[in-house]
Structure 1
């Protein structure tokens, strides 16, 4: 994934034609004009349409200086790699280099200014550059100016792709690691001795670790040749402890809170897109279904607000609850241009915010602290900052906006606050607002009401403050694709790939790319898959060899397009309930039993037939059995001749022999 800016120098490719950005028109649609590099033919489109075409892959960002007719069409790669798929040590090195590049970029230093780069690294004095979250740690090996310039060159040539910062030696196989018992002994002494308020030096802790390892070797718990650990390993184990926890253990909670979490000056925001705040909440209203009219419950809204102006940049409403998928969906709305959304809903005011923010402030929810959300921030090139524990006023703008937004909710179905000596009405009994009407109402409040409310302290309106602040800034950055972000937050599972592809949730997924992967790996193999719960029209299959991901579409696109996993399960449950009401299972079992009885009866009857009769019956077909019955003549005879008569099918009568009586004489009668 790369980053691009709609400014002079932007070149996009559509097939074999390349279009260079010419200018942007100051109209409501935010129209941008491109010129063909060969014919100078103009091509106009809205900013939202440009973002949608680049995100879908129909337009590719090309930074070449001149077009070439022999160049092949730029198509997106089939395999996708993310930072999440790398080893922890490689990911840590990428993050270290990325922090240096962000630090120099904020200082306005380019890759050719060697002297300024050297001075900036010297000012750090062996420490990693501070992130917005205040994460500070010692850098055991600060880079040289040449190394940083090489990182900047590789990052700029790749369009800001994080893969350009991967160390070339990361593919080498690492050597043997320390004995688990040795690491356990070292961790015990680091926690019992080094992480104490007396703040002993690390060399003293290293001596105690060596003495304990010597005792373990004499006791026979650890082999003598493995009863040792290097100073660098001990330092890495200390650095593995979160810096905030190290400060709490060695300096106390008051020092750590003041260093990491506490702020006395309030929000220091100077421009739009500098600081975005994100939060979830459950709306105080019960909505009903648009089709059936049944109560659905209270939905959850994820809101993103610009701290500088108080302008709502994006929101997402669902019944998924507070989670990673909701946060990513709201973030994608906040980044994308939104003129088409307001035009389709007939709103009279534009929705201004778009672009990648510089900083995202979130609370301490598990979804924000997850490695997936950190990987999303790294791919977008933005920083993360977390509120102190139980201090929601650290992000006051989004908290205030959520409270104000609840005031515009309808009275029907509103959840009332408990009061003394009062029984509130049940919200599900008074609910009368559909989910679609709620979404449209929230959109109208976000676009046409909240931006034009005057702040009581500053006497400024968010709409004017945001638009005036954007006039003095460069064009915002936009991602070339959001498929990597969808891959990061997708749900992981294990599945088997065979000749019919991948079967997940009773749906089959297959493609030509998966067929090629099978031919290179095996006809049947087990691997990891990822499925986006918001869109089950495709899933991602992990290549067992390279570790990259392959996007595989569904074999039933007419059903799965735009369908979520929750809707799919609800549809299956509804259909299954209808079948149960019609006693479909009982009818199927009764039909199976009747078929078994029919086979048994025909089997007994067929054994009684003679071979000659069987040969005659062999000429019959299913058309004779299942077709219409032949019409009989006037005399009652059949119109069609028969091969076997009914008398031949009857058992032949057997003649009973007669016997003459025999007279028996007695001997005395002579």
Structure 2
């Protein structure tokens, strides 16, 4: 499970399988901690080496939970949220919350304990098997549909209709449908559970002024990681391919900034069009400590910001509003602010950072100026000089050693100084302290990949005309006669667009992801863009792809690749495609290396513990999840 490890003073953590209590936060990378047991020594611990060592919790993919289960967990979280801050958690507070929501005090304590065990929303999903299944009083789906439609139309409306008026409309619609109307309190609860931000926006839009979101006037962003704005832009720079050093056009930049400090929290650069995957990779870069990333880029410097933001503000475009991003944010109690289309001032802080960074980009060879007067006779294609990898390194250097260390005109200090002030405090003003770190980054990476639901057939799992198989699937292959009696079971799969030669299958029994390679392992490795281009080519030639088989698909891909490779003068599009593939492959290999190192490190710690227990004769039974990783 991707548990959050608290770094607050007094928090319990594990290092080399010994329990420590954090005494001081001495930097963004280290804490001072004291052993819980003899000899009670103090140690300076690197935060990336810490473990939570909670009671064993099986990893459950959040995509498996149905809508009702997830809504139930969200409801519990909203009830206990005021009690999680540490400012309001006395026995009296708990009793008041229990009374307010007509719930017992022990239940509230249990929910708090469940949530604190992992710090994730999924810990509040009801255990239906242990508690006798879904609640009997849950409304049927048709009832819920009518209620939601009326609330959306009449309550979330600038007319500000009253709840009794809305209830009368609901009663009328239920009578017309020959259904029994719900109680008025049911409607009140549905309305109480609405997002206060959405209610304000829909019922009293005058309060959401055009200054909300502009630099210096954002009502949020009062402390580090309270609000992160994410936006996307094509780079004002012509890049070159690695082989011929010839122009292949622009790449896309996805950037996330911490509104409080104006520090850049993470970024992602790709030739591929902006999508959920780009946003997910930017979020991954935001959450992770940056030491490994800086090593990969060969940049000497400090990039101290990391962690889970409280709120993310991003585009309202359809490609970002998928269930993958929404569930990921709900799992970690991250609110999403969908910026209205056409109202760029909602993301004005990140827009300003884009302008600041663009002014530096315009000093590079191959820059694309924003207007004709600036451009003059300058030929960006002819002057292009950087590959995407070289630009990524240059951009990282710019962020870490220039932008973060330059005084910001509104902050009157550097973004890095502002962030450190927010974390460690200044004078009589306390800081927020170091944010929690995430355990099991392998599972974190899977969570930010696009997911699909597919059945297991005798041949394996088929996705976009490509079939995948592994012995892992054997137990899930259902005889054909059985499938005729009922609907086939759907399983969660994840796919990395950078390499579709494998998918990741989530086994709901073992609660672990397993790699599924091509069923035909002789097929070449390709990325998602190449797959889509090949399918489009076949559709253009044959008119449809309904009868498309895997052999034809990869034969067509090979022919297209051979034509490109044999061309004496490669087209700009071909060079761009090859450069994109090389860059994506390089990034993927770097991620695999990090995950493999993490797994090997965990196994090494485990081996030490086993040997130690054998030496001292501890009569323990060991049950560990040893994760095996194929060599890459």
TM-score with structure 1 length normalisation?
0.64
8 A contact 2:502–2:518 mirrored in 1: no
**Residue matched to 1:481:** 440
8 A contact 2:310–2:335 mirrored in 1: yes
Deviations 1:57-80 (A, max 9, x none): xxx63147xxxxxxxxx7x84x63
Query: Structure 2 CA distance, aligned partners of 1:200 and 1:29?
Result: 53
Query: Structure 2 CA distance, aligned partners of 1:267 and 1:188?
Result: 31
Q: 1:537 to 1:99 in 2, by over 3 A?
A: farther
Give the structure with higher Rg (CA): 1
Give SS of 2:230's match.
strand
Match status 1:280 vs 2:232:
yes
Match status 1:296 vs 2:276:
no
Match status 1:552 vs 2:515:
yes
Match status 1:88 vs 2:51:
no
**Residue matched to 1:153:** 113
Query: Structure 1 CA distance, aligned partners of 2:517 and 2:288?
Result: 26
Find the partner of 2:348 among 370, 379, 396.
396
Query: Structure 2 CA distance, aligned partners of 1:119 and 1:240?
Result: 18
**Residue matched to 2:282:** 330
1:384 CA drift (Å): 3.1
Residue correspondences, number: 528
Deviating more after overlay: 321-330 vs 100-109: 100-109
Find the partner of 2:308 among 356, 362, 367.
356
8 A contact 1:530–1:541 mirrored in 2: yes
8 A contact 1:80–1:484 mirrored in 2: no
Match status 1:117 vs 2:94:
yes
1:280 CA drift (Å): 1.3
Q: 1:289 to 1:369 in 2, by over 3 A?
A: same
Deviations 1:495-552 (A, max 9, x none): 4534554355687644454334448999996734331324546523356x87977433
1:46 CA drift (Å): 5.1
Find the partner of 1:314 among 266, 284, 294.
266
1:460 CA drift (Å): 0.9
8 A contact 2:227–2:313 mirrored in 1: yes
**Residue matched to 1:449:** 402
1:302 CA drift (Å): 1.2
Q: 1:489 to 1:306 in 2, by over 3 A?
A: closer
Deviating more after overlay: 34-43 vs 321-330: 34-43
Deviations 1:106-165 (A, max 9, x none): 35234xx2113345678xxx6xxxxxxxxxxxxxx4545443222112222x32243331
Q: 1:209 to 1:518 in 2, by over 3 A?
A: closer
Find the partner of 1:532 among 471, 478, 496.
496
8 A contact 1:32–1:47 mirrored in 2: no
Give SS of 1:317's match.
strand
1:318 CA drift (Å): 0.9
Match status 1:565 vs 2:528:
yes
Q: 1:260 to 1:235 in 2, by over 3 A?
A: farther
Find the partner of 1:577 among 533, 555, 560.
560
1:475 CA drift (Å): 2.7
Give SS of 2:370's match.
coil
Matches within 5 A, 1:30-45: none
8 A contact 1:85–1:547 mirrored in 2: no
**Residue matched to 2:422:** 469
1:257 CA drift (Å): 6.2
Q: 1:384 to 1:102 in 2, by over 3 A?
A: farther
TM-score with structure 2 length normalisation?
0.67
Q: 1:510 to 1:39 in 2, by over 3 A?
A: farther
1:207 CA drift (Å): 5.0
Find the partner of 2:318 among 347, 351, 366.
366
1:3 CA drift (Å): 0.9
Structure 2 unmatched ranges of 5 or more: 426-431, 535-553, 567-632
Find the partner of 2:76 among 93, 97, 121.
97
Deviating more after overlay: 349-358 vs 36-45: 36-45
Q: 1:13 to 1:500 in 2, by over 3 A?
A: farther
Query: Structure 1 CA distance, aligned partners of 2:333 and 2:265?
Result: 18
Q: 1:477 to 1:428 in 2, by over 3 A?
A: same
Query: Structure 2 CA distance, aligned partners of 1:386 and 1:92?
Result: 20
Give SS of 2:490's match.
strand
Q: 1:204 to 1:88 in 2, by over 3 A?
A: same
**Residue matched to 1:171:** 133
Structure 1 unmatched ranges of 5 or more: 52-59, 65-73, 127-140, 217-221, 584-670
Query: Structure 1 CA distance, aligned partners of 2:132 and 2:380?
Result: 58
**Residue matched to 1:491:** 450
Query: Structure 2 CA distance, aligned partners of 1:264 and 1:461?
Result: 15
Deviating more after overlay: 379-388 vs 520-529: 520-529
Q: 1:282 to 1:421 in 2, by over 3 A?
A: closer
Give SS of 1:539's match.
strand
1:43 CA drift (Å): 10
1:94 CA drift (Å): 1.2
RMSD: 5.0
8 A contact 2:456–2:476 mirrored in 1: no
